[in-house]
Amino acid sequence: MTGLQANQTLAKAFVSCSLREEDKQFIDLVEDILRKHGIQPFGTVGKYSVAPENPVETMRKNIPLSDMVVIIATPRYQQTDMKTGQVTQGLSEMVHVEAGMAFAMNKPVIVFVKEGTDVGTFLPSITQYVTLNGYQNDLVDKYAKIYSLLNSAFLMIKKIRDNQANSGFGQFIWGTLAVWGGFKIAEELFSNPKKKRIARATGLKRASPKKRKN
C-alpha cells in the first residue's frame, strides 16, 4: 500500500451497507476511506447494483467478483435483552447474510461500525472491526488500526491471487509439456533409424505417400 497513485485501484470491495438517508453521511465517510486506499466500492444491492431479481441472487453474483467484502454496520432496529432489559441497536439481517457468503467464499471481511451499533456475535467471530463516531478527530486517532486492517486484507488478497496464478500457470505448463513431449517422442522415433524399428515393432508408423496411378 505504498506509493499509491491518484485514482489507482488495487482492489474491488463489495460494500454491504444501509440505504437509509440517515446513514448516508457515515457510509460516505467509510467509502471515502476505501477510495483513498485504492479500494473501489461496488456491488451494493440497491445502490451500485440494481436488478429485477431477488437481492440474495444479486449478492451471489457480485460477491465472487470482489476481492473483499466491506461491511458498514449502522443501527437498523432496537433489540431488548430479556434478562437485563438493556436496549441495543442491532444490524439488518441482510448484513449477516452477506458476511456469511463472504466468509464461505474465503473473501477478506472488514467491518466499520458506527458507534452505538451492536454487531452481534457472528461478525466478531470471523473478523476484527473498527468503531467510528464519524468525527475527524476519532478518524485520526484510529487511523493506525484502519490501515492495519486494510493492509492485512491486501496481503490476503495478494496471497489468493498468487495461488490462483500459480494454479493456472501449473495447469498450463503440464498441458504444454504433455503436448510438447508427445511431439518430441514422435519426432525422435521417426528421425532415428534405430528408433524407427522400435516404432514399427510397437505399431507406430509414418504415413507413406500414396503411389500415383497411371
In a domain, 204, yes or no: no
Strands (E), the chain: 11-16, 39-42, 68-73, 77-80, 87-90, 109-114, 129-132
Grid cell in block for residue 75: 443501527
* Separation between Cα atoms, residue 120 and residue 122, nearest integer Å: 6
Over 90: is that where the pLDDT of 68 sits?
Answer: yes
Q: Domain for residue 184, yes or no? A: no
More confident site: 81 or 140: 140
**Domain that residue 94 falls in:** 11-166
- Whether 55 is covered by a domain: the verdict is yes
Residue 174 lies in a domain: no
Q: Is the residue at 172 inside a domain?
A: no
Reported as a single tens digit per residue, the pLDDT across 23-57 is 999 999 999 999 999 999 998 876 776 666 777 78
Indicate the pTM of the whole model: 0.69
Per-residue pLDDT at 180 exceeds 60: no
**Residue 177 half-sphere exposure, CB side, CA atoms within 13 Å?**
6
Q: What is the pLDDT, as a whole number, of residue 5? A: 54
And the C-alpha cell for 178? Answer: 504433455
Q: What is the mean pLDDT of residues 137-154?
A: 93
Letter string b/e over residues 112-133, b meaning 16 or more CB atoms within 10 A of that residue's CB: bbbeebbbbeebeeebebbbbe
pLDDT grade for 135, boundaries at 50, 70 and 90: very high
- Kindly state the average pLDDT of the residues 98-115: 90
pLDDT given at position 184 = 43
Place of cell 492495519: 148
Q: Is residue 202 part of a domain?
A: no
CATH classification of the domain holding 151: 3.40.50.450
Residue 194 lies in a domain: no
Q: Would 183 be classed as within a structural domain?
A: no
pLDDT level of residue 162 (50, 70, 90 thresholds): confident
59 pLDDT above the threshold of 80: yes
pLDDT at 39: 94
What pLDDT is recorded for position 118?
A: 86
Backbone dihedral angles phi then psi of residue 158, each to the nearest 5 degrees: -60, -45
13-22, 45-54, 60-69, 165-174: which has the minimum mean pLDDT? Answer: 165-174
The count of structural domains within the chain is 1
More confident of the two residues 7 and 196 = 7
Does position 196 have pLDDT exceeding 60, yes or no? no
